[in-house]
Amino acid sequence: MLLKQTIPQVWSAVANEVPERIAVASDADRVSYAELERRSNGIATRLRERGVGRGDRVGIYAQRSVGAIASMLGILKAGAVYVPFDPAYPSKLLKFVFEDCAPKLMLVEPSLETAGSAFWNGEVLAIDAALPDLAPDLAPHHPAASMSREDPAYIMYTSGSTGHPKGVLVPHRGVVRLVIDNPFVHMGVDEVHLQLAPLAFDASTFEIWGALLNGGTLAVLTAPYPSLDDIASAISRHGVTTLWLTAGLFHLMVDQRLQALKPLRQLIAGGDVLSPPHVIKAQQALPECQLVNGYGPTENTTFTCCYRIPRPAAAGPIPIGRPIAHTFVRVLDEALQPVPDGQVGELFAGGDGVALGYWNRPDLTAERFIADPIAAAATGDATGDAAGKLYRTGDRVRRRSDGNLEFLGRVDRQVKINGKRVELDEIESCLRQSGLVEDAAVTSAIGADGARKIHAYATPLRGRAAAISELRSFLKSELPDYMWPSSISVLDALPLSPTGKVDRAKLPAPAAAASAASAASSPRASAQQADIEAMLLEAWREALGTDSVGVNDNLFDLGGTSLHVIRVHAKISQTMTRPVTVIDLFQHPRIRALAQWLAHQTSSPEPAAPMGNGSIGNGLMGNGLNPAERARRQTEALARMRPARGRQTQ
């Protein structure tokens, strides 16, 4: 019966059953199901007072927090659609999303209001102010009866090949089908889920609603850029039992903080290909933990297939498994006909998880969401409406003899970077629209560190040299960091095929990153700084998989991503005795500048306040700060850092 209901309907049934259980916990707040019901009702009331109704879009501009969760639930209770805006994205990208989805109202974390004002216009409501005092007898009734499971619940934006992201419209049925009566993992009142994914990343759908629609507890990690120590500390502090990690972060935790995963009963990893040696290592160290390989696009509500990895894992690639409950798949050839088991075809997803389409993109919706040809042939319904639609994933798979699916790559130019989907054509289009180049091409390849890297090539405008620094600054103002190229090469001309198209196979090897200046270009302040520089060089060269790293290079210009920063942060933690945050690494992206800052920090007097769990050395990301205050300062630092990061790369 629950499968036929909306998210607010399922939520209310659960909240009535377990009103005193903790629904959401952070270092600053612990909220019961009854209290979250009250808070979200207050938000729904305030939204309706502002004219928000069924189908309206409401934006959320916030970091992970209890208030953000209450806001999501309140928006849904008002019958509206939530649209998460990632504070880590550049303002130009956020402005496009804002103009595309045209939210009727923005719910904004107060500390981010100044930074966010660069991309929005219209009505804004501070999340803290969205909680009016309501007497119990005035607690509003949520309009669940006026909605259906087909109504949209949220819009999440993914990379688009046209140069702009595209909004995926996900219905209530997709979310309910994901987390109710779905045996790929256990979800119940005894589970504590860690909310680690950004709100605008669809893994958060599983984390949030997997906990709250089953009576479990959602433990929110509020640090904008959590370190490995932050993750480890949160698992221990909140008693986390269920964790979702991107493949890259899973590999990093297994390498660096394996013992911290011991409390887990379930660990779901995905977003990219899992490394069998890391899976085996994790199984050996975590005998009580079930590992799951999770696969699925945003367009099919987070997970399409999952593989509960048996113990011990079999040799060879880890399959993506079988369709989860209330989901089916087709493996079809180019003529949309089924291929025999063992042969390669494209994966098409069907069932309750399929999205309603792309917001404001009927052309792309018609291309990617197609009539089910098998059902149409069986029923004689040429439109396929009787059996619903299939989502064309663009992923190449084959079905093994045991029924499990193996992922073999893409049929197009889409790749995964740190678990996030990237259309290489979007980066190409962005370069062409910059006004700085005549033409551009973008490729990707697996680097020496085992991670996929993006490489860009550009030809200069006639009579003007193409400045790589200008191109990087432009891309950083337009694209999120996981889409920034590791290298940019300027060519006189791009190689062409006989048909006149760019022949990417003939592009030269990516240019080795040139050091901005030699180590001797400026004197070091001390021998201590020299030692720190040497340690940082080793850490960054190891993380990036290249020796072409100079002390004055901007590390984000060399392809550094948030995952690389986390890896380097873990390396520093083995050496430094003073607390250093992940935010500090973002604020000092050049090795020499970071070494100088670290040397100064080390030579400063020790902090008087005692340090707790979570920092480098002691796990605390701040001198004697409690976790709530640390998270607040990180949010403020992030808001200040974003507009400055582009200037640092000049």
| Furthest CA-CA distance within the chain | 80
199 inside domain: no
- Confidence class of residue 597 from pLDDT cuts 50, 70 and 90? confident
Same domain, 393 and 448: no
Same domain, 533 and 498: no
CA-based angle 130:133:137, to the nearest 5?
120
Nearest CA-CA partner of 217 in 60, 44, 82, 29: 29
Q: pLDDT averaged over the chain?
A: 84
The pLDDT score that the predictor gives to residue 603 is 66
What is the CB neighbour count within 10 angstroms for residue 351? 21
Distance between alpha carbon 185 and the CA centroid of its chain, in Å? 21
SS3 assignment for 34-102: HHHHHHHHHHHHHHHHCCCCCCCEEEEECCCCHHHHHHHHHHHHCCCEEEEECCCCCHHHHHHHHHHHC
Most confident of 71-85, 132-146, 157-171, 426-440: 71-85
Same domain, 532 and 461: no
The pLDDT score that the predictor gives to residue 332 is 97
Q: Structural domain tally of the chain?
A: 4
Nearest CA-CA partner of 477 in 219, 93, 206: 93
CA–CA separation, 373 vs 388, rounded Å? 10
Same domain, 577 and 499: no
Instruction: Kindly report whether the global pTM for this prediction surpasses the value 0.85.
Output: no
Of 139, 155, 170, the last residue of a domain is: 170
**pLDDT surpassing 90 at residue 282:** yes
CA–CA separation, 473 vs 435, rounded Å? 13
The model's pLDDT over 218-262, given as tens digits with 9 standing for 90+, comes to 999 998 889 999 999 999 999 999 999 998 899 999 999 999 999
Residue 300 DSSP one-character state: G
CA–CA separation, 149 vs 5, rounded Å? 6
**Between 380 and 158, residue with greater pLDDT:** 158
CA–CA separation, 444 vs 456, rounded Å? 9
**pLDDT surpassing 90 at residue 1:** no
CA–CA separation, 482 vs 358, rounded Å? 22
Distance between alpha carbon 47 and the CA centroid of its chain, in Å? 27
% of the chain residues with pLDDT over 90? 50
**pLDDT surpassing 90 at residue 563:** no
194 three-class SS: strand
Under the phi-then-psi rule, with left for phi > 0, alpha for psi from -120 to 50, and beta for the rest, what region is 384?
left
Of 392, 418, 444, the last residue of a domain is: 418
The residue to which tokens 């093994």 are assigned: 400
Structural contact between residues 63 and 116, judged by C-beta atoms closer than 8 angstroms: no
The pLDDT score that the predictor gives to residue 387 is 54
200 inside domain: no
Mean pLDDT (whole number) for 304-309: 98
Least confident range of 55-64, 79-88, 335-344, 419-428: 419-428
Same domain, 163 and 249: no
The pLDDT score that the predictor gives to residue 208 is 98
What is the CB neighbour count within 10 angstroms for residue 582? 24
**Taking each helix axis from N to C terminus, what angle separates 527-544 and 562-573, rounded to the nearest 10 degrees?**
130
372 inside domain: yes
Same domain, 131 and 271: no
Same domain, 298 and 391: yes
500 inside domain: yes
Same domain, 377 and 439: no
Distance between alpha carbon 88 and the CA centroid of its chain, in Å? 11
Name the amino acid, one letter, at 364. L
Structural contact between residues 64 and 220, judged by C-beta atoms closer than 8 angstroms: yes
623 inside domain: yes
Q: In what order do the strands lie in the sheet with 124-126?
A: 124-126, 105-108, 57-61, 81-85, 152-158, 166-171, 357-358
Same domain, 438 and 404: no
**pLDDT surpassing 70 at residue 400:** yes
CATH number of the domain within which 452 lies: 3.30.300.30
180 inside domain: no
CA–CA separation, 216 vs 221, rounded Å? 16
Strand partners, 59: 83, 106
**pLDDT surpassing 70 at residue 372:** yes
Q: What are phi and psi of 160, to 5 degrees?
A: -125, 145
Q: What are phi and psi of 605, to 5 degrees?
A: -60, 150
CATH number of the domain within which 327 lies: 3.40.50.12780
Least confident range of 19-23, 69-73, 318-322, 483-487: 483-487
Same domain, 409 and 310: yes
Of 106, 136, 170, the last residue of a domain is: 170
Same domain, 445 and 384: no
618 inside domain: yes
106 three-class SS: strand
Instruction: Report CA-CA distances (Å) from 450 to 86, 251, 445, 484, 489.
Output: 27, 11, 10, 18, 22
- Confidence class of residue 636 from pLDDT cuts 50, 70 and 90? low
485 inside domain: yes
423 three-class SS: strand
Same domain, 428 and 392: no
Name the amino acid, one letter, at 366. A
- Confidence class of residue 84 from pLDDT cuts 50, 70 and 90? very high
**Between 122 and 20, residue with greater pLDDT:** 20
Distance between alpha carbon 351 and the CA centroid of its chain, in Å? 24
Structural contact between residues 441 and 451, judged by C-beta atoms closer than 8 angstroms: no
Range of the domain at 340: 226-418
